[in-house]
């Protein structure tokens, strides 16, 4: 690997200026420092160097932000403007994201480490698309007219209907793997439905969220309707999850922290939606089109360096094609160009943080100790950055830690199966997770049979990592509660009110 900086794109002057300025938090329409005056370092994961400082929010900042969001919800103007105007503002956020697409892509590549080519092609346009898709729902939050089942009194007449109303103040806590996109997934529907928000962005990657906050102000989001905090999980995230004046909490992150969110939410029984971990099975049948299945299965795990909750991290390959598929993916891995995110030729950047580097290399060590062998990769890659080689583990058993636990890195386990039978289904479903899955076959009957039996929120057939604003995404089992995106996300951000009128 050659982590040279020679070919890196030159940062736009506006990006340089944004990074260099003192970063504050958006509370009640004002840019303010943390009450404690404390900041934390923001690192470039490709070099281990500090590139910025962000404010370290804690309980007093959360209290202030929740108060601002409460006031914006109770007194308006956000909750008083017309649905059409609300929709226009949410749409405008998407427009401004595209107006600033290169800046946002550069920030994302620098802060998260992901290849700028991916940030340009995926993170930024998908975030814009999400806001614009959700903008349309602002004017379509209709209830229903309902006929009562009994007349109550003979001859009485009734007019009954439902209304869809915003939930109120929404706390939103997001991770670092797709910083801008995860912010969009949460803010888009919350705002389209007329809620107000206190969001905490991830401590590893605060920059694009702060830039987005500026764009939301420019789009016309009124003061207090969106408040953006930077800070750590326990200090800033936990007070949001536990706050008695927050009506709903939406969280994306690890299953372990998801459980803490649920505990914290019990005080005022706030609504909870969770998008948590995964250990997704990716199944290659022997009739698959190998020209698609091999690069597809490689991308399923190596996209975003495996730092995807939906990553296809457990590969099940029919024994007839096992050697071909494993060797094909290993070849693919050998040809992946590792480098800093800002190099346009980079196909895989560093992991996001030192912690993540230690976690992934720890799993590689554990796997080897348990008897797994790396068909390719298996080591940390050179330089000071947090690079790990794309890795295919073979000789793995289903009960090894590398097969059971979410590694969140570019590491896939490859195992064989003989028949598309109950045993395969059992193995595919045998984790506490149920987020996503993949099936590669040219037999449509087998594809749909598998799609119905896999216990996961998404099944990708002859493709992987297809995300769309209109497609619901979320988990079965311990992968989460509720769905993001699509029409289904509106359930997370609206309450249904029944109105019965005696005429
Ligand atoms: P990861 O392990 O992928 O970093 P985490 O679940 O630890 O994921 O973090 C995801 C988000 O949750 C981050 O914004 C983080 O700050 C936040 N977080 C971590 N711990 C807590 C907590 N106890 N309460 C609320 N938020 C938390």
Q: Which of 40, 231, 253, 354 to mutate to test the pocket of ligand 1 (most atoms within 8 A of CB)?
A: 253
pLDDT at 241 over 70: yes
pLDDT at 255 over 70: yes
| Confidence band of 252 (pLDDT split at 50, 70, 90) | very high
Average pLDDT score over residue span 9-31: 96
State the number of CA atoms in the 13 A half-sphere of 26 facing the CB. 27
Taking the C-alpha atoms of residue 378 and residue 364, their distance in angstroms, rounded to an integer, is 6
In a domain, 3, yes or no: no
Ligand 1: atom nearest CA of 254 is: 6
| Confidence band of 1 (pLDDT split at 50, 70, 90) | very low
> Which phi and psi angles does 480 have, rounded to 5°?
150, 180
Taking the C-alpha atoms of residue 16 and residue 21, their distance in angstroms, rounded to an integer, is 9
Long-range contacts of 388-392 (CB under 8 A, 24+ apart): 388/305, 388/351, 388/357, 388/360, 388/361, 388/364, 389/1, 389/333, 389/338, 390/298, 390/301, 390/302, 390/333, 390/336, 390/348, 391/333, 391/364, 392/326, 392/329, 392/330, 392/333
Q: Identify whether residues 132 and 56 lie together within a single domain.
A: yes
Question: Token pair of 251, please?
Answer: 């969280």
| Average pLDDT along the chain | 96
- Percent pLDDT > 90 in the chain is 96
Taking the C-alpha atoms of residue 155 and residue 165, their distance in angstroms, rounded to an integer, is 32
pLDDT at 485 over 60: yes
pLDDT value of position 384 = 87
Q: Identify whether residues 226 and 328 lie together within a single domain.
A: no
Alpha carbon of 41 to ligand 1 centroid (Å): 17
pLDDT at 5 over 60: no
pLDDT value of position 261 = 98
Q: Identify whether residues 185 and 39 lie together within a single domain.
A: yes
Q: Identify whether residues 308 and 444 lie together within a single domain.
A: yes
* Sheet with 494-502, side-by-side order of all strands: 145-146, 158-166, 494-502
Expressed as residue numbers, the domain containing 392 is 281-468
CATH number for the domain that contains residue 87 = 3.40.605.10
Taking the C-alpha atoms of residue 318 and residue 281, their distance in angstroms, rounded to an integer, is 13
Q: Which of 309, 389, 406, 484 is catalytic?
A: 309
Q: Which of 113, 175, 352, 357 to mutate to test the pocket of ligand 1 (most atoms within 8 A of CB)?
A: 175
In a domain, 347, yes or no: yes
Atom 9 in ligand 1: residue holding the nearest Cα: 253
Q: Identify whether residues 261 and 288 lie together within a single domain.
A: no
Q: Identify whether residues 464 and 494 lie together within a single domain.
A: no
| Confidence band of 479 (pLDDT split at 50, 70, 90) | very high
In a domain, 5, yes or no: no
pLDDT value of position 329 = 98
Contact call for residues 106 and 11 (beta carbons, < 8 A): yes
CATH number for the domain that contains residue 393 = 3.40.309.10
Question: Token pair of 489, please?
Answer: 């996300």
Task: Give residue-wise pLDDT tens across range 113-161.
Answer: 999 999 999 999 999 999 999 999 999 999 999 999 988 888 899 999 9
Instruction: Reply yes or no on whether 275 is catalytic.
Output: yes
Taking the C-alpha atoms of residue 122 and residue 105, their distance in angstroms, rounded to an integer, is 9
Q: Identify whether residues 325 and 243 lie together within a single domain.
A: no
In a domain, 430, yes or no: yes
In a domain, 8, yes or no: no
Q: Identify whether residues 205 and 293 lie together within a single domain.
A: no
pLDDT value of position 411 = 98
Q: Identify whether residues 228 and 295 lie together within a single domain.
A: no
Long-range contacts of 424-427 (CB under 8 A, 24+ apart): 424/283, 424/316, 425/450, 425/453, 425/454, 427/281, 427/316, 427/398
Total domains in the chain come to 2
Task: Give residue-wise pLDDT tens across range 46-85.
Answer: 999 999 999 999 999 999 999 999 999 999 899 999 999 9
Place of tokens 């990769």: 377
- Percent pLDDT > 70 in the chain is 99
Q: Identify whether residues 375 and 438 lie together within a single domain.
A: yes
pLDDT value of position 113 = 95
Q: Does ligand 1 lie within 6 Å of residue 202's CB atom?
A: yes
Q: Identify whether residues 295 and 410 lie together within a single domain.
A: yes
Q: Does ligand 1 lie within 6 Å of residue 234's CB atom?
A: yes
Phi-psi region of 391 (alpha: psi -120 to 50; beta: other; left: phi over 0): beta
Alpha carbon of 34 to ligand 1 centroid (Å): 19
pLDDT value of position 301 = 98
Q: Does ligand 1 lie within 6 Å of residue 406's CB atom?
A: no
Q: Does ligand 1 lie within 6 Å of residue 168's CB atom?
A: no
Atom 14 in ligand 1: residue holding the nearest Cα: 202
In a domain, 170, yes or no: yes
Task: Give residue-wise pLDDT tens across range 391-419.
Answer: 999 999 999 999 999 999 999 999 999 99
Alpha carbon of 372 to ligand 1 centroid (Å): 30
Any alpha helices (H) in 303-353, and if so which ranges? 322-334
Taking the C-alpha atoms of residue 439 and residue 287, their distance in angstroms, rounded to an integer, is 11
Q: Does ligand 1 lie within 6 Å of residue 311's CB atom?
A: no
In a domain, 61, yes or no: yes
pLDDT at 2 over 50: no
Q: Which of 8, 103, 108, 275 is catalytic?
A: 275
In a domain, 264, yes or no: yes
Average pLDDT score over residue span 469-473: 98
Q: Identify whether residues 239 and 285 lie together within a single domain.
A: no
Q: Does ligand 1 lie within 6 Å of residue 175's CB atom?
A: yes
Taking the C-alpha atoms of residue 335 and residue 327, their distance in angstroms, rounded to an integer, is 12
pLDDT value of position 187 = 98
pLDDT at 223 over 80: yes
Sign (positive or negative) of CA dihedral 175, 177, 182, 184 = positive
| Burial label, 308 (beta-carbon count in 10 A; 0-12, 13-18, 19+) | buried
């Amino acid at each position: 690997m050659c982590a040279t900086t020679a070919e890196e794109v030159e940062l736009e002057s506006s990006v340089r200026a944004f990074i260099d300025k003192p970063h504050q938090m958006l509370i009640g329409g004002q840019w303010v420092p943390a009450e404690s005056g404390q900041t934390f370092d923001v690192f470039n994961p490709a070099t281990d160097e500090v590139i910025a400082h962000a404010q370290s929010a804690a309980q007093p900042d959360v209290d202030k932000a929740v108060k601002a969001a409460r006031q914006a919800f109770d007194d308006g103007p956000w909750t008083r403007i017309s649905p059409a105007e609300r929709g226009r503002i949410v749409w405008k956020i998407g427009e401004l994201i595209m107006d600033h697409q290169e800046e946002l892509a550069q920030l994302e590549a620098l802060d998260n480490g992901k290849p700028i080519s991916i940030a340009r092609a995926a993170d930024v346009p998908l975030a814009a698309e999400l806001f614009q898709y959700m903008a349309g729902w602002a004017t379509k939050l209709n209830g229903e007219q309902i006929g009562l089942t009994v007349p109550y009194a003979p001859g009485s007449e009734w007019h009954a209907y439902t209304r869809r109303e915003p939930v109120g103040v929404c706390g939103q806590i997001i991770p670092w793997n797709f910083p801008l996109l995860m912010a969009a997934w949460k803010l888009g529907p919350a705002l389209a439905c007329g809620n107000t928000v206190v969001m905490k962005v991830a401590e590893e990657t605060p920059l694009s969220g702060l830039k987005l906050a500026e764009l939301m102000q420019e789009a016309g989001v009124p003061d207090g309707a969106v408040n953006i905090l930077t800070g750590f999980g326990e200090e800033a995230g936990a007070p949001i999850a536990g706050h008695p004046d927050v009506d709903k909490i939406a969280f994306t992150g690890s299953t372990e922290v998801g459980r803490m969110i649920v505990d914290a939410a019990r005080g005022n029984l706030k609504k909870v939606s969770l998008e948590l971990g995964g250990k997704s099975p990716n199944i290659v049948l022997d009739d698959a089109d190998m020209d698609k299945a091999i690069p597809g299965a490689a991308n399923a795990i190596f996209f975003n360096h495996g730092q995807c909750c939906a990553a296809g991290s457990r590969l099940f390959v029919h024994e007839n094609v096992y050697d071909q598929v494993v060797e094909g993916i290993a070849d693919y891995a050998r040809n992946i160009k590792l480098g800093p995110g800002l190099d346009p030729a980079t196909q895989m950047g560093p992991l996001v943080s030192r912690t993540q580097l230690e976690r992934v290399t720890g799993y590689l060590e554990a796997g080897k100790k348990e008897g797994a062998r790396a068909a390719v990769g298996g080591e940390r890659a050179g330089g000071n950055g947090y690079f790990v080689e794309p890795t295919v583990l073979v000789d793995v058993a289903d009960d090894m830690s590398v097969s059971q636990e979410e590694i969140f890195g570019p590491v896939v386990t490859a195992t064989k199966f003989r028949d598309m039978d109950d045993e395969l289904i059992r193995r595919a479903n045998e984790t506490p997770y149920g987020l996503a899955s993949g099936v590669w076959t040219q037999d449509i009957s087998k594809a749909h049979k598998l799609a119905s039996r896999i216990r996961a929120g998404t099944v990708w057939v002859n493709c992987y990592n297809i995300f769309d604003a209109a497609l619901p995404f979320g988990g079965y089992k311990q992968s989460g509660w509720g769905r993001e995106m699509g029409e289904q996300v509106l359930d997370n951000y609206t309450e249904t009110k029944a109105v019965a009128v005696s005429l």
